[in-house]
Structure 1
Amino acid sequence: MKLISLRIITKDIKQSVQFYEKAIGLTAQWYTEDFAELSTSTITIAIGSTQTMKMFSDNPIESTGNKSSIIEFLVSNVDDEYQKIKDITPEIVQEPTTMPWGNRSLLFCDPDGNLINFFTPVSPEAIKKFS
């Protein structure tokens, strides 16, 4: 089994896609007005409007953001990324902080309230783990 995609359901797809394009520096591929994807070398971030949920069920769930999961991105320098992120969202949960497990992490929210972590390994053990 291989995890290849993470789908975010949103009430405002244009706002969410623009946010992720700025945050991760990729251009989205739009397939319909209700569905777009941003692909990295390891995973695809799919973004669908709440309308897409009607294709799965007659009783679609509502997009309310998620505070129990964190979408994580390995970045080369989390402090540099912070300078960019603080200009695109007021929802900074944690400024860059070195965590006990050796990653320097920046935690913030996307427009729907989903938690996002940008992190850079800084301890020898963490650097080895992600190299």
Structure 2
Amino acid sequence: MNFASVRIITDDVDGLAEFYEKVTGIAAERPAPVFAEIVMPSGTLAIGHSQTAQLFGADSAVAASNRTVIIELRVEDIEAEYARLKPWVGQWVQEPTTMPWGNRSMLLRDPDGNLINLFEPVSEAAIERFKDR
């Protein structure tokens, strides 16, 4: 089995796709007006309009209501990413901080309130843990 994607349900596909394009530096693919994908080597971040959730059954997903999932993106240089993103990110949760498990991490929220963790492995153990991922 291979991990394929995480999908965010939103009422603003264009706005969220633009936000993630800025965060990742990757242009969104748009196979339909109600759907966008940020395709990365390790997996895809899909963004679907709330109308698409109906295709999976009533009340299967509600836009802008996530409070349990953290989208995590590994970066090469956390300090450089912080400087790049700081001027336009609307809600910072945590500035770059070294975590007990060896990652330097920063947390922010996307326009729908989803939590995003950008991190860089910095300890020897963390670097080793992520070397093949």
Code of the residue aligned with 1:105 in structure 2: it is S
CA distance in 1, matches of 2:79, 2:3: 28
- Structure 1 window deviating more from structure 2 (15-24 vs 75-84): it is 75-84
Length, aligned pairs only: 131
| Percent of residue pairs bearing the same amino acid type | 46
Contact 1:104 1:120 in 2 (8 A): yes
Partner of residue 100, structure 1? 100
Output one character per residue of 1:88-119: Cα deviation in whole Å (capped at 9) or x when no partner: 22210000000111000010011111110000
Partner of residue 38, structure 1? 38
- Structure 1 window deviating more from structure 2 (105-114 vs 85-94): it is 85-94
Change (3 A) 1:57 1:111: same
Residue 60 of structure 1, CA deviation: 4.8
CA distance in 1, matches of 2:16, 2:64: 13
TM-score for the superposition, normalised by structure 1:
0.94
CA distance in 2, matches of 1:62, 1:42: 26
CA distance in 2, matches of 1:37, 1:54: 19
Q: Secondary structure at the match of 1:81?
A: helix
Residue 64 of structure 1, CA deviation: 2.5
The CA RMSD measured in Å over matched residues stands at: 1.2
CA distance in 2, matches of 1:61, 1:74: 27
CA distance in 2, matches of 1:10, 1:88: 20
* 1:4 maps onto 2:4 in alignment: yes
Q: Secondary structure at the match of 1:21?
A: helix
Partner of residue 126, structure 2? 126
- Structure 1 window deviating more from structure 2 (83-92 vs 67-76): it is 83-92
CA distance in 1, matches of 2:39, 2:61: 25
Contact 2:9 2:61 in 1 (8 A): no
Residue 65 of structure 1, CA deviation: 3.5
CA distance in 2, matches of 1:111, 1:79: 22
Change (3 A) 1:123 1:10: same
Q: Secondary structure at the match of 2:72?
A: strand
CA distance in 2, matches of 1:6, 1:60: 15
